[in-house]
Amino acid sequence: MGEYPDWLTQASAPPHRPAIEQATARQRILTKPPGSLGQLEDLAIQLAGLLNTDRPALYHPHIILFAGDHGVTAEGISAYPSEVTGQMLANFVAGGAAISVLARALEAELHVVDVGTLLSDPLAGIHTDKVARGTRNFRREPALTPADLIHALEAGRDAARRAQEAGADILILGEMGIGNTSSASALTAALTDTDPARVVGAGTGLVGDRLAQKIHVISQSLAFHGLMPGRHPPLLCLKKVGGHEIAALTGAFIASTQAGTPVLVDGFICSVAALAAVQLNPSIRDWLLFSHRSAEPGHSILLDALDASPLFDLGLRLGEGSGAALALPLLQLACTLHNEMATFEGAGVSTSP
């Protein structure tokens, strides 16, 4: 790892095999045909192994949203100006954003962390943990210095630890940052050896010539940094074309799972951070649950690279952790069914044909 901290590669514990075996045995005796609840059965068993109990339950979900701005917006690759990032942070605090509404409905704690926005002053209700205001323009120079990258990774680690100390039993990670689909697209191409034209999507709503400009800028940026073709080391990719919030997500994924807390993964931007985290530390993969398939074309490429089967596809591309928040009730209901359904013996239901 050289200049980067050793904690990034410390292994997460494997899922608890006895709990998995006990939960699997319970699924076989519940009053239903085997496998008839599909992925809900798999989720209950998976959570049993992660939570080390044959009766898993999720009572204390926490949502952590990381925010940062991107210098590459100077290249005309976003439908919205960078000022929107800071304005949306105020909206999160005021309770008007989609993730704010979902957090209230789910009775989940919402933590918003400014790890690199253009805001010059701290915003009330936001945890500020940054050493730079926005990244550099990665079309012209590396997005992050090594010190920037280390700080962002550790800001993600520290945010995850704060949530865990507050009692979180599952984490939902999200992001906000104008320009971050461009960064995520560049990272996806560099981490998976994929042509940028297959990866780049509308983001905040680009079409026509402006979408073509986005593809051109990302292709030129990857060439400038020597990141195509091939699959390149994740920390190098994060430094060259990443973002403060994407690096923070990467650190949070690793730290969460090292501490034994499962993470529900959101869409495109969170998934590229998850792939970077898994490539850095493969032991964390078992602790990640994947919520949905985004409308961003690069997301399917990431899901394939992560060998992930998401729970649903609603055509979402908002970010903020919104898709993962929508998936949380499915996990909770999978546990409730697993725990509260009667067994054949208990209900007096015959198992004979």
Quick check: is 320 catalytic?
A: yes
Taking the chain, what is the end-to-end CA distance rounded to the nearest angstrom?
Answer: 60
Q: How far is CA 10 from the centre of its chain?
A: 20
Phi/psi of residue 41, nearest 5 degrees? -65, -45
* Given 165, 320, 340, 345, the catalytic residue: 320
Helix (H, G, I), strand (E, B) or coil at 157: helix
User: Using CA atoms, how far apart are residues 185 and 273, in angstroms rounded to an integer?
Assistant: 11
Count other Cβ atoms within 10 Å, centred on residue 198: 15
Decide: 197 and 292 in contact? Cβ < 8 Å: no
Residue pair 266/291 in contact (Cβ under 8 Å)? The answer is yes
Q: What is the DSSP track for 240-277?
A: HH--HHHHHHHHHHHHHHHTT--EEE-SHHHHHHHHHH
> What gap in Å lies between CA 156 and CA 279, rounded to an integer?
17
| Cα 128 to Cα 137: distance, rounded to the nearest angstrom | 22
Nearest to 343 by CA among 18, 21, 32: 32
Q: Exposed, middle or buried by CB within 10 Å (0-12, 13-18, 19+), for 230? A: exposed
In angstroms, the CA 230 to CA 343 distance is: 52
- Residue 174's DSSP bridge partners are 65
With contact defined as beta carbons under 8 Å apart, do 15 and 46 qualify? yes
As given in the structure block, the two tokens for residue 174 are: 């999200």
| Residues with active-site annotation | 320
